[in-house]
Amino acid sequence: MFKGVLIDWGGVLTQPLSDAIQEWLAADRIDVPHYYNVMAEMVGQAYAADGRADGQGDGQDAEATRENLIHALERGEVEVAEFERALAERLRTLDGGKPSPDGIVARMFAAFRPVEPMYDMLRAVRAAGLRTCLVSNSWGTEYPREGWDELFDGVVISGEVGMRKPEPRIFRHALEVIGLEAHECVFIDDIKANVEAAKGLGIAGIHHVDPGTTLAELERMLRIPFPPVS
């Protein structure tokens, strides 16, 4: 039944975002409660269930785009340096100062580490003849692309295509890239809003919580055996 797998990167093919963030918060001596208050507001707006944030149309007006910096950053509409300055201005360090904005996004995600069982799954899926496509919202970070040719038939990075999850158009674009229909694909993401958006187009969805649960569900759906997660 299924012929393709669409998959997120950060938090799915890597360890959870929260783990990497904790390392950065400690290294930069960021006031943790204040950081989470700032991010709750910014991310909450980015994934709010309203017309401005969910991208139900094929475009959004300039005012709405500029209002949420995460939207603009993920679509590549603002420079990373501009976002970094705005984020650093909102944050504070343990001594009450401001963190250095230069390279703050790279530092946030520097501790991302691959989850090998998820990569093994991609290899098994492709070996079975299914197509794979990475669909990732980018914060301007550099991706570790070495070996991607053996993992993905298509790569859709939000900042490179000017669209972001959970906008329906980015899923349509990903389907076009690998030449499949919505009902032929499964989408895996650690953000529920993104999974729901994909399901709204007819794509089967898995809300990723941990590798063991995701791989068990995907094995059931695809009928492809995967090595057990140790």
Whichever domain contains 152, its CATH number is 3.40.50.1000
> How many domains is the chain built from?
2
Dihedral sign, CA of 182, 56, 67, 26?
negative
Q: Are residues 120 and 94 in the same domain?
A: no
Domain boundary among 77, 109, 141: 109
Q: Are residues 127 and 71 in the same domain?
A: no
Mean pLDDT within 145-161: 96
pLDDT reported for residue 46: 63
Peptide bond into 166 cis (omega under 30): yes
What would the pLDDT profile of 161-212 be if each residue is shown by its tens digit? Answer: 999 999 999 999 999 999 999 999 999 999 999 999 999 999 999 999 999 9
Domain boundary among 109, 135, 166: 109
Q: Are residues 215 and 145 in the same domain?
A: yes
- Is 161 part of any domain? yes
For the cut 90, the answer to whether the pLDDT of residue 128 exceeds it is yes
Q: Are residues 127 and 101 in the same domain?
A: no
Q: Are residues 53 and 138 in the same domain?
A: no
- Is 190 part of any domain? yes
Q: Are residues 121 and 218 in the same domain?
A: yes
Q: Which helix (H) or strand (E) holds 40?
A: helix 32-46
* Ranges assigned E (strand) in the chain: 4-7, 131-136, 154-157, 185-189, 204-207
Q: Phi and psi at residue 54, in whole multiples of 5°?
A: -90, -5
Q: Are residues 125 and 194 in the same domain?
A: yes
Q: Are residues 25 and 87 in the same domain?
A: yes
Q: Are residues 51 and 79 in the same domain?
A: yes
Q: Are residues 37 and 138 in the same domain?
A: no
pLDDT reported for residue 211: 96
Q: Are residues 188 and 158 in the same domain?
A: yes
Structural domain containing residue 199? 4-16+113-222
- Is 227 part of any domain? no
Q: Which is more confidently placed, 50 or 214?
A: 214
pLDDT reported for residue 67: 59
Rounded to 10 degrees, what is the CA torsion of 177, 178, 184, 185?
Answer: -80
Angle at 123 between CA 224 and CA 160, to 5 degrees: 120
Domain boundary among 52, 80, 109: 109
- Is 230 part of any domain? no
pTM: 0.88
Full 3-state SS string of 49-65? CCHHHHCCCCCCCHHHH
pLDDT reported for residue 85: 95
- Is 228 part of any domain? no
Q: Residue 155: beta bridge partners?
A: 134
Q: Which two tokens stand for residue 42?
A: 């910014």
**Residue 55 pLDDT class (50, 70, 90 cuts):** very low
